[in-house]
Amino acid sequence: MDDSPGLITTPLTDDLVRGALDLERTARGGLLPHRLPARARAQFGGDEQVAQAESQPSGVRLVFRSRATAVEVDVVRTVVGYRGVPPRPDGAYDLHVDGEPAGRATASGGDLVTVDLDDGSQETVHGPVGTVRFGGLPGREKTVEIWLPYTETTELIALRTDAPVAAAEPSGRRVWLHHGSSISQGSAAESSATAWPALAAAVGGVELVNLGLGGSALLDPFTARALRDTPADLISVKIG
């Protein structure tokens, strides 16, 4: 974490986050986005695959209005790796300005969970807070979106900018709620913003809520109830 001089710290409030079904306040005072609500998380019986997938924030983004030319976000990421297997590339944070791609960055630090595929054991090594930085944004009033990575559980710790921030007004677009498995979560895409549901939502001019859960599109009743209870204009389900 870096307290950069000259930047304004804006409290992370629920109205700055879109695409999550629940936001958990953490012991660090941050926000941990979830893509399944608390009721559903209480019902999947400690299934680590579901827990990992729903906490990886595919389609979740910070959204705000500002004249800022520099933006920093402090995060604690949780990366899952497998003993003896090369690590995956760092998860990508995509910056969009007024709906157009304007930058990409990654975070350092965070927690590493290493899984031994032979016996199923896990080892967790805790790391420091990392900072994602974007610079050179246009100095006009604009809508800024930062899409969080679909491969890393991401706890949002702090938001800093060089100009005041305000929550963006609701877009007024129709809401598309999609459920699927790994390809819907983002598998093989470069980032959450370039996963096929995000690209389709951009073309269709709709607000995406992505419930793509890698390895976990199993017609579970708790997921069905989450779909039922989430306000949406269109619901799609990709199975198989």
69-119 confidence digits (pLDDT tens):
999 999 999 999 999 999 889 999 999 999 999 999 999 999 999 999 889
151-188 confidence digits (pLDDT tens):
999 999 999 999 999 999 999 999 999 999 999 999 98
Q: Among candidates 138, 127, 130, which has minimal Cα distance to 158?
A: 130
Please state the pTM of the whole predicted model. 0.94
Residues of the chain above pLDDT 90, percent: 87
Q: What per-residue confidence (pLDDT) applies to 5?
A: 72
For the domain spanning 8-168, the CATH number is 2.60.120.260
Please give the C-alpha separations between residue 24 and each of 27, 57, 61, 120, 238, in angstroms, as whole numbers: 10, 13, 15, 28, 27
Residues in the chain: 240
Q: What per-residue confidence (pLDDT) applies to 3?
A: 55
The C-alpha atoms of residue 34 and residue 107 are separated, in whole angstroms, by 19
Domain ranges for the chain: 8-168
